Structure 1
Amino acid sequence: MKALQPFNIDVPQTVLEDLALRLKQTRWTDEPENAGWNYGTNPQYLRELVAYWQQGFDWRKQEALLNSIPQFTAEVDGVQLHFAYIKGKNANSQPLLLTHEWPDSFFRFYKIIPLLTTGETTFDLIIPSIPGFGFSQKVAVSSARAASLFSQLMTDVLGYEQYLAAGDFSITTSLAQQFPEQVKAIHLTDTGYPNGTEDWSTMSPAEQEFGQFIQGWWFMEGAFNMIQSTKPQTLGYALNDSPVGLASWILEKFYAWSDTKGNIENSFTKDEILTNIMIYWVTETINTAIRRYLEDARAMFGQGGPQPVPKTMVPTAVSVFPADSNTPEEWAARRVNLQRFSKLPVGGRFAALEQPELYSKEIRTFGQLFS
């Protein structure tokens, strides 16, 4: 087994002082009257959040919260990986790899750690930062490459022969497809979206409705994906230089992809929003994080066009949260070896942070099903 090193977050004070100066000197743009969220980020809420960032937010308090979670680093195949590692209280705890997405971070899962490491069904939780995100090495990698690194983390570094995996669709399914002998089962909250290679004449009415929904969603919400999949470097300079620009880019997605019911603080506190943003800011990893989209696009289109997505044959449980994608069961069964399918009444893309009790219950049921 490879060595792992304890890790503690300790942001230099000079970084915080520089941030304070940049926030103070923000050059605000014009704002449409009564814009709300209709033009992107809500100007009124962004100003409110930035005022709190300057006057009320305590990074050192949030840093201490993050450092209360056991964290480590390890070099895996030439890449330095950062990960939280929390052992379950029971002797029969199952290892569970939890992978965040964009634009969040390993912080997504902090609320569910005590819920999944205590009680009758417990887990050893391994929560890495994707390479290029947060405290892992600042290098952009494809989902397939990230999955390979996580496989080596679980086996070569931590010594697990088999484990469960949940979280990010692309990395989790790639892990299952590349290493089915290791991955006992996976849990997902979506099963991906149509990419143009499908034969829609074979689809059920629910799947066709889903396809139409995704097509409409792509036109209304997909601009971030298009730029991050094609010209991420152009965007990266702005996001790495302006904390308000970074906050605006991330904040709008937290609002759009969550069950906010018109108020983002129905889903997240200001401290939670800013702690996630700060992880990108203090590590200067927003550019490598968004560049992952281009790495995946090149992997997908490298053969001259999109390729059919292979069905994931590892046993899979799917929990659909209403403010994320309205995935129909037929589509999930087409994409994965579906063993359990559930639709939840509330929650969105960041369910572990937004609805920790509900998400944890789904994970516990998943763990019991594949114990």
Structure 2
Amino acid sequence: MMRPYRVEIPQENLDDLAARLAATRFTRPLPGRGLGVPADRVQHLVEYWRDGYDWRASERQINAHPQFTTEIDGLDVHFLHIRSAQPDALPLILTHGWPMSVVEFLPLIDLLSDAFHLVIPSVPGFGFSGTPREPGWNRRRIAAAWAELMHRLGYERYGAHGNDVGSLISLELGRLDPHRIAGVHVTQIFSLPSGDPAERAKLGPDDQAKLAILERFMAGRSAYLTLQSTQPQTLAHALADSPAGQLAWNLQLFGETVSDDYILTNAAIYWLTDTAGSSALIGYHGNRPPAEPSSVPLGVACFADDFFPSIRPLAERDHSAIVHWNEYDRGGHHAAQEEPRLLADDIRTFFTARR
């Protein structure tokens, strides 16, 4: 059963949030560089969150689109569902990443809804979907829930797009439901080099440069992934209590390339729904690459400033059906926010060929 849904945060929750923001105890800046999110950046955003940011405006932006929940595998799944005016439009399910939410894809709706029926779910444990009450909600189980969701909506042939964690889920959906999937389009292929020096030696200069970016990220900015993959409950105690802490934790993967309002909307969703811990479960419950490659047609859009660049020879090692690969000279890890038209055009081009 599909139940209509609206985001309606009680005012007392917002009042509590405002009081906690006003009482924030900011940490002192540490000496040195590269030590994490700067203290002055967090202080600036907390002050704006308290005095300038309008949650109700963000709520209205989300509620401008039809939303529903349905129970799948014992868990409520929240999703936006925007039907195209074209009856023969291709259904497309878009899966957000971490620390994002369905808000990630709001800029794509007007750009894609002429040609696609859009389904934009909240990943289980994130935002407005239910939180897992048992272990095992890894990307394969989420992909199985997506396949069931599309079946319930009456979509027997459809496409999938994902970013960040959503890329991993979308790839798994292609493996799980290959006879119904027209194609999978992603913005990252998380293919890492093996320990074989010969594999590295075969990479050309451009791919060596991408590998250097990737290795810098893993060496200097991946602590969040280690903690979420090993101690999500420990982390959740701190973030559930402190909205400023939630903001700082999210901010490490947002940087300066997206708007302050977008950053705060996502931080607010995580804090107001108490999903800091449950959103980490997707890493904790296992996301090792599967042994078998996917045979579903795969398209990749690579954006120049993505801190986790896709390296084509490594991607082709792990995926046998890459039929579309575009590299752009702008945009980054949050392409739907940074370069929505560029991303929408790439999605459209890929799926036009799949029709």
Normalising by structure 1, we get a TM-score of 0.88
Q: Which amino acid aligns with 1:310?
A: E
Partner of 2:296, secondary structure, is: strand
For 1:311, the equivalent position in structure 2 comes to 293
Q: 1:310 to 1:290 in 2, by over 3 A?
A: same
1:160 aligns with one of 155, 164, 168: 155
Q: Deviations over 1:280-339 (max 9, x none)?
A: 111111110012210125xx4xxxxxx664322100111101222332332232222110
Give the secondary structure class of the aligned counterpart of 1:277: helix
Tell me the SS of whatever aligns to 1:169.
helix
Deviations 1:187-235 (A, max 9, x none): 0111113274x65535632366655543342111111111111111111
Q: Does 1:350 align with 2:340?
A: no
Question: Does 2:344 align with 1:360?
Answer: yes
Query: Which deviates further from its counterpart, 81-90 or 307-316?
Result: 307-316
- Is the CA contact (8 Å cut-off) linking 1:100 and 1:129 kept in structure 2? yes
**Correspondence 1:17-28 to 2 at 5 A:** 17-28=15-26
Pair 1:129-2:122 in alignment: yes
CA distance in 2, matches of 1:32, 1:173: 40
In the alignment, structure 1 segments of 5+ residues that lack a partner are 256-263, 301-306
Q: Percent identity?
A: 35
Provide the C-alpha distance between the structure 2 equivalents of 1:268 and 1:205, rounded to a whole number of angstroms. Answer: 32
1:83-108 Cα offsets, whole Å, 9 max, x none, are 00001122221000100011101100
Pairing of 1:94-133 with structure 2 (within 5 A):
94-118=90-114, 122-133=115-126
Q: Over the residues paired in the alignment, what is the CA RMSD in angstroms?
A: 1.8
Distance (Å, rounded) in 2 between the aligned partners of 1:80 and 1:221:
33
Contact 1:112/1:352 (<8 A) preserved: yes
Which residue of the partner structure matches residue 187 of structure 2? 189
CA distance in 2, matches of 1:328, 1:252: 23
CA contact (8 A) 1:191 1:335 kept: no
Q: Is the 8 A contact 2:191 2:318 kept in 1?
A: no
Matched position secondary structure for 1:26: coil
1:25-174 mapped onto 2 (5 Å cutoff):
25-32=23-30, 38-118=34-114, 122-139=115-132, 141-155=137-151, 157-167=152-162, 168-174=166-172
Answer yes or no: is the 8 Å Cα contact 1:200–1:208 preserved in 2. no
Aligned to 1:260: none
Q: In the aligned structure 2, how far is the partner of 1:201 from the partner of 1:209?
A: 17
Residue pairs, 1:173-252, within 5 angstroms: 173-194=171-192, 196=194, 199-202=196-199, 204-206=202-204, 210-211=210-211, 213-252=213-252
Q: Distance in 1 between matches of 2:193 and 2:146?
A: 26
Farther-moved stretch of structure 1 (321-330 vs 67-76): 321-330
Q: Is the 8 A contact 2:192 2:314 kept in 1?
A: no
The 1:201–1:308 alpha-carbon spacing in structure 2 relative to 1, beyond 3 Å, is farther
Aligned partner of 1:131: which letter? P
1:359 match: secondary structure:
helix
Secondary structure class of the residue paired with 1:327:
coil
Q: Which aligned pairs between 1:322-337 and structure 2 lie closer than 5 A?
A: 322-324=304-306, 325-336=308-319, 337=321
What is the number of residues matched between the two proteins? Answer: 344
Residues in 1 aligned to 2:244 and 2:146: alpha-carbon distance in whole angstroms: 32
List gaps (5 residues or longer) in structure 2. Answer: none
- Aligned amino acid, residue 347 of structure 2: I
Structure 1 CA distance for aligned equivalents of residues 193 and 97 of structure 2? 19
CA contact (8 A) 2:191 2:315 kept: no
Distance 1:310 1:213, change over 3 A: farther
* 1:313 aligned counterpart, secondary structure: coil
Distance 1:239 1:339 in 2: 41
Q: Secondary structure at the match of 1:314?
A: coil
Partners of 2:266 and 2:91 lie apart in 1 by 25
SS in 2 for 1:127: strand
CA 1:309/1:208 → structure 2, altered by over 3 Å: closer, same or farther? farther
Secondary structure at the residue paired with 2:324? strand
Alignment of 1:295 with 2:285, yes or no, is: yes
Contact 1:71-1:85 at 8 Å conserved across structures:
yes
Q: Which residue of 2 aligns with 1:286?
A: 276
Q: Deviations over 1:31-79 (max 9, x none)?
A: 136x7x7321122221111111111111111111110011110111211
How far off its partner does 1:346 sit?
1.0
Which SS does the other structure have where 1:288 is aligned?
Answer: helix
**Aligned partners of 2:210, 2:292: CA distance in 1, in Å?**
19
Which amino acid counterpart does residue 305 of structure 2 have in structure 1?
Answer: A
Letter matched to residue 233 of structure 1: Q
TM superposition score normalised by structure 2? 0.92
CA distance in 1 between partners of 2:209 and 2:295 (Å): 25
